[in-house]
Chains A and B, each alone.
Chain A
Amino acid sequence: DGGITQSPKYLFRKEGQNVTLSCEQNLNHDAMYWYRQDPGQGLRLIYYSQIVNDFQKGDIAEGYSVSREKKESFPLTVTSAQKNPTAFYLCASSSEAGWDTGELFFGEGSRLTVL
Protein backbone atom coordinates (compact mmCIF):
# COMPACT_ATOMS: atom_id res chain seq x y z
CA ASP A 1 0.00 0.00 0.00
CA GLY A 2 1.13 3.55 -0.68
CA GLY A 3 1.91 5.72 2.25
CA ILE A 4 4.42 7.26 4.58
CA THR A 5 6.52 5.17 6.89
CA GLN A 6 8.19 6.65 9.92
CA SER A 7 10.64 4.80 12.09
CA PRO A 8 11.17 4.17 14.85
CA LYS A 9 7.78 4.68 16.48
CA TYR A 10 9.34 5.09 19.90
CA LEU A 11 12.84 6.22 20.65
CA PHE A 12 14.70 6.97 23.82
CA ARG A 13 17.81 9.06 23.85
CA LYS A 14 20.25 10.25 26.44
CA GLU A 15 20.99 13.94 26.67
CA GLY A 16 23.83 14.99 24.42
CA GLN A 17 23.15 12.38 21.77
CA ASN A 18 22.02 13.01 18.22
CA VAL A 19 19.23 10.87 16.87
CA THR A 20 17.88 10.46 13.35
CA LEU A 21 14.23 9.83 12.57
CA SER A 22 13.45 8.13 9.31
CA CYS A 23 10.67 9.10 6.91
CA GLU A 24 10.04 7.24 3.66
CA GLN A 25 7.18 7.72 1.22
CA ASN A 26 6.17 5.70 -1.82
CA LEU A 27 3.52 8.14 -3.02
CA ASN A 28 5.85 9.78 -5.52
CA HIS A 29 5.25 13.10 -3.82
CA ASP A 30 7.57 16.02 -4.43
CA ALA A 31 7.16 17.84 -1.14
CA MET A 32 7.94 16.49 2.31
CA TYR A 33 7.61 18.03 5.73
CA TRP A 34 8.56 17.53 9.35
CA TYR A 35 6.34 18.75 12.14
CA ARG A 36 6.61 18.59 15.87
CA GLN A 37 3.42 18.03 17.84
CA ASP A 38 3.23 19.12 21.47
CA PRO A 39 0.10 19.17 23.63
CA GLY A 40 -1.69 22.49 23.37
CA GLN A 41 0.60 23.77 20.63
CA GLY A 42 -0.61 21.85 17.63
CA LEU A 43 1.81 21.07 14.86
CA ARG A 44 4.83 23.28 14.36
CA LEU A 45 6.80 23.17 11.15
CA ILE A 46 10.45 22.18 11.52
CA TYR A 47 11.66 21.79 7.94
CA TYR A 48 10.15 21.24 4.53
CA SER A 49 11.46 20.24 1.16
CA GLN A 50 9.84 20.86 -2.19
CA ILE A 51 12.32 18.96 -4.33
CA VAL A 52 15.34 16.74 -4.01
CA ASN A 53 18.49 18.42 -2.69
CA ASP A 54 16.55 21.43 -1.49
CA PHE A 55 14.91 22.22 1.84
CA GLN A 56 13.83 25.22 3.87
CA LYS A 57 13.63 25.97 7.57
CA GLY A 58 10.26 26.14 9.18
CA ASP A 59 9.36 27.96 12.38
CA ILE A 60 11.39 25.86 14.81
CA ALA A 61 14.40 24.60 12.86
CA GLU A 62 16.99 25.32 15.54
CA GLY A 63 18.59 22.14 16.81
CA TYR A 64 17.36 20.07 13.87
CA SER A 65 18.84 19.11 10.52
CA VAL A 66 17.49 17.35 7.44
CA SER A 67 18.62 16.03 4.11
CA ARG A 68 16.76 15.25 0.89
CA GLU A 69 19.05 13.14 -1.23
CA LYS A 70 16.24 11.02 -2.62
CA LYS A 71 12.69 11.91 -3.51
CA GLU A 72 11.23 9.26 -1.27
CA SER A 73 13.31 9.95 1.84
CA PHE A 74 13.49 12.91 4.22
CA PRO A 75 15.30 12.01 7.44
CA LEU A 76 15.31 14.35 10.42
CA THR A 77 18.22 14.56 12.84
CA VAL A 78 17.52 15.86 16.30
CA THR A 79 20.82 17.19 17.51
CA SER A 80 22.12 17.73 21.00
CA ALA A 81 21.58 21.45 20.40
CA GLN A 82 17.82 21.01 20.54
CA LYS A 83 16.95 22.16 24.05
CA ASN A 84 13.65 20.39 24.47
CA PRO A 85 13.60 17.44 22.08
CA THR A 86 11.08 15.24 23.85
CA ALA A 87 8.06 15.36 21.54
CA PHE A 88 5.98 13.60 18.93
CA TYR A 89 7.38 14.06 15.42
CA LEU A 90 5.24 13.82 12.32
CA CYS A 91 6.41 13.47 8.76
CA ALA A 92 4.14 14.40 5.87
CA SER A 93 4.22 14.64 2.13
CA SER A 94 2.19 16.26 -0.62
CA SER A 95 2.19 16.11 -4.37
CA GLU A 96 3.47 18.99 -6.48
CA ALA A 97 4.20 22.01 -4.39
CA GLY A 98 2.20 24.71 -6.09
CA TRP A 99 -0.66 23.51 -8.19
CA ASP A 100 -2.13 20.47 -6.64
CA THR A 101 -4.61 19.78 -3.90
CA GLY A 102 -2.21 20.69 -1.14
CA GLU A 103 -3.40 17.81 0.94
CA LEU A 104 -0.78 16.53 3.32
CA PHE A 105 -0.46 12.82 3.95
CA PHE A 106 0.92 11.99 7.35
CA GLY A 107 2.90 9.16 8.80
CA GLU A 108 2.10 7.51 12.12
CA GLY A 109 4.68 9.60 13.92
CA SER A 110 7.74 8.98 16.06
CA ARG A 111 7.74 9.65 19.77
CA LEU A 112 11.12 10.74 21.04
CA THR A 113 11.88 10.78 24.74
CA VAL A 114 15.09 12.22 26.08
CA LEU A 115 16.15 10.73 29.37
Chain B
Amino acid sequence: AQSVSQHNHHVILSEAASLELGCNYSYGGTVNLFWYVQYPGQHLQLLLKYFSGDPLVKGIKGFEAEFIKSKFSFNLRKPSVQWSDTAEYFCAVSGYNNNDMRFGAGTRLTVKP
Protein backbone atom coordinates (compact mmCIF):
# COMPACT_ATOMS: atom_id res chain seq x y z
CA ALA B 1 0.00 0.00 0.00
CA GLN B 2 1.12 3.51 -0.64
CA SER B 3 2.29 5.78 2.14
CA VAL B 4 3.13 9.43 2.50
CA SER B 5 5.71 11.06 4.75
CA GLN B 6 5.78 14.71 5.64
CA HIS B 7 9.01 15.69 7.30
CA ASN B 8 7.97 18.71 9.28
CA HIS B 9 5.25 18.62 11.90
CA HIS B 10 5.25 22.30 12.72
CA VAL B 11 6.92 25.13 10.85
CA ILE B 12 7.04 28.68 12.14
CA LEU B 13 7.99 31.48 9.77
CA SER B 14 7.88 35.24 9.66
CA GLU B 15 5.97 36.99 6.91
CA ALA B 16 7.88 37.25 3.63
CA ALA B 17 10.02 34.22 4.43
CA SER B 18 10.25 31.45 1.87
CA LEU B 19 8.53 28.17 2.49
CA GLU B 20 9.35 24.62 1.54
CA LEU B 21 7.44 21.68 2.99
CA GLY B 22 8.77 18.23 2.31
CA CYS B 23 6.70 15.28 1.10
CA ASN B 24 7.89 11.83 0.14
CA TYR B 25 5.74 8.95 -0.94
CA SER B 26 6.01 5.25 -1.38
CA TYR B 27 4.01 3.61 -4.12
CA GLY B 28 4.73 0.98 -6.72
CA GLY B 29 3.11 2.44 -9.77
CA THR B 30 1.80 5.55 -11.45
CA VAL B 31 0.76 8.10 -8.88
CA ASN B 32 -1.22 11.26 -8.68
CA LEU B 33 -0.01 13.77 -6.12
CA PHE B 34 -1.83 16.46 -4.22
CA TRP B 35 -1.43 19.12 -1.60
CA TYR B 36 -4.45 20.01 0.48
CA VAL B 37 -4.77 22.85 2.95
CA GLN B 38 -6.94 23.24 6.00
CA TYR B 39 -7.29 26.81 7.21
CA PRO B 40 -8.43 27.25 10.80
CA GLY B 41 -12.11 26.41 11.07
CA GLN B 42 -12.49 25.56 7.41
CA HIS B 43 -12.84 22.47 5.24
CA LEU B 44 -9.88 20.76 3.71
CA GLN B 45 -9.44 22.10 0.21
CA LEU B 46 -7.22 21.36 -2.75
CA LEU B 47 -4.14 23.53 -3.12
CA LEU B 48 -2.63 21.90 -6.20
CA LYS B 49 -2.27 18.58 -7.94
CA TYR B 50 0.04 16.71 -10.29
CA PHE B 51 -1.16 14.07 -12.71
CA SER B 52 1.31 14.17 -15.58
CA GLY B 53 3.31 16.55 -17.73
CA ASP B 54 5.32 19.44 -16.35
CA PRO B 55 6.64 18.33 -12.96
CA LEU B 56 6.43 21.87 -11.63
CA VAL B 57 2.81 22.59 -10.85
CA LYS B 58 1.29 25.82 -9.71
CA GLY B 59 -1.65 26.10 -7.40
CA ILE B 60 -3.72 28.74 -5.75
CA LYS B 61 -2.38 31.62 -3.67
CA GLY B 62 1.13 31.50 -5.16
CA PHE B 63 1.95 27.96 -4.08
CA GLU B 64 3.84 25.56 -6.30
CA ALA B 65 5.15 22.03 -6.00
CA GLU B 66 7.76 20.03 -7.85
CA PHE B 67 7.46 16.34 -8.59
CA ILE B 68 10.85 14.63 -8.58
CA LYS B 69 10.22 11.07 -9.61
CA SER B 70 13.71 9.82 -8.81
CA LYS B 71 13.35 11.04 -5.24
CA PHE B 72 9.68 10.10 -4.81
CA SER B 73 9.13 13.63 -3.63
CA PHE B 74 6.54 16.33 -4.11
CA ASN B 75 7.66 19.32 -2.07
CA LEU B 76 5.49 22.37 -1.63
CA ARG B 77 7.00 25.83 -2.00
CA LYS B 78 6.05 29.47 -1.75
CA PRO B 79 8.58 32.29 -2.24
CA SER B 80 7.03 34.65 0.30
CA VAL B 81 4.49 33.57 2.90
CA GLN B 82 1.75 35.71 4.36
CA TRP B 83 0.06 35.61 7.73
CA SER B 84 -3.04 34.26 5.96
CA ASP B 85 -1.09 31.16 4.95
CA THR B 86 -1.27 29.93 8.53
CA ALA B 87 -2.91 26.54 8.17
CA GLU B 88 -2.27 22.83 8.15
CA TYR B 89 -0.95 21.37 4.92
CA PHE B 90 -1.41 17.78 3.85
CA CYS B 91 0.37 15.94 1.10
CA ALA B 92 -1.61 13.12 -0.52
CA VAL B 93 -1.03 10.41 -3.08
CA SER B 94 -3.40 8.21 -5.00
CA GLY B 95 -2.97 5.46 -7.48
CA TYR B 96 -3.95 5.66 -11.10
CA ASN B 97 -7.62 5.18 -10.32
CA ASN B 98 -7.75 7.89 -7.67
CA ASN B 99 -9.84 5.63 -5.54
CA ASP B 100 -7.69 5.20 -2.48
CA MET B 101 -6.07 8.47 -1.64
CA ARG B 102 -3.61 8.43 1.24
CA PHE B 103 -2.57 11.44 3.24
CA GLY B 104 0.53 12.39 5.16
CA ALA B 105 0.43 13.36 8.81
CA GLY B 106 0.25 17.03 7.96
CA THR B 107 2.46 20.05 8.59
CA ARG B 108 1.17 22.91 10.67
CA LEU B 109 2.42 26.24 9.36
CA THR B 110 2.36 29.28 11.60
CA VAL B 111 3.25 32.59 9.98
CA LYS B 112 4.06 35.39 12.38
CA PRO B 113 3.00 38.88 11.27
- Contact among A42, A97, A102, A103 for B90, CB-based, below 8 A: A42
Residues in B with CB closer than 8 Å to A102 are 32, 34, 49, 51, 94, 98, 101
Chain A residues with CB under 8 Å of B32's CB are 102
Distance between Cα atoms of A98 and B30 in the complex (Å): 12
Q: Which of these, A33, A41, A45, A108, contacts B43 with CB under 8 Å? A: A108
A46 to chain B minimum Cβ distance, whole angstroms, is 12
- A43-B103 in contact (CB<8A): yes
Q: How far is the CB of A53 from chain B (nearest CB, A)?
A: 15
CA distance A50 to B51 in the complex (A): 20
Nearest CB in chain A to that of B6: its residue: A42
The answer to whether A103 and B100 touch (CB under 8 A), given A40-B9, A42-B105, A59-B1, is no
Question: Would you give the 0/1 interface string for A43-65, flagging 1 where the beta carbon is closer than 8 Å to chain B?
Answer: 11100101000001011000000
Q: Which residue of B lies closest to A3 (CB)?
A: B43
Residues of A with C-beta under 8 A to B105: 40-42
Q: Which residue on A lies nearest to B96, using beta carbons?
A: A98
A35 to B44, CA, bound (A): 12
* B98 and A94 contacting across the interface, CB-CB below 8 Å: yes
A76 in contact (CB, < 8 A) = no
Alpha-carbon distance A40/B88, docked complex (angstroms)? 11
Please name the residue on chain B nearest to A108 by beta carbon.
B43
Which residue on A lies nearest to B41, using beta carbons?
A108
* Bound Cα distance from A33 to B69, whole angstroms: 27
CB contact between B44 and one of A44, A100, A106 (< 8 Å): that residue: A106
- The smallest beta-carbon distance between B88 and chain A, in angstroms, is 9
**Does A107 belong to the interface (CB within 8 Å)?**
yes
Q: Are B104 and A56 closer than 8 Å at their CB atoms?
A: no
A-B pairs with beta carbons under 8 Å apart, 25 shown = A33-B101, A35-B103, A40-B9, A41-B105, A42-B103, A42-B106, A43-B44, A43-B90, A43-B106, A45-B103, A58-B100, A92-B44, A94-B98, A97-B99, A98-B98, A100-B98, A101-B49, A102-B32, A102-B34, A102-B94, A103-B34, A104-B36, A106-B43, A107-B43, A108-B43
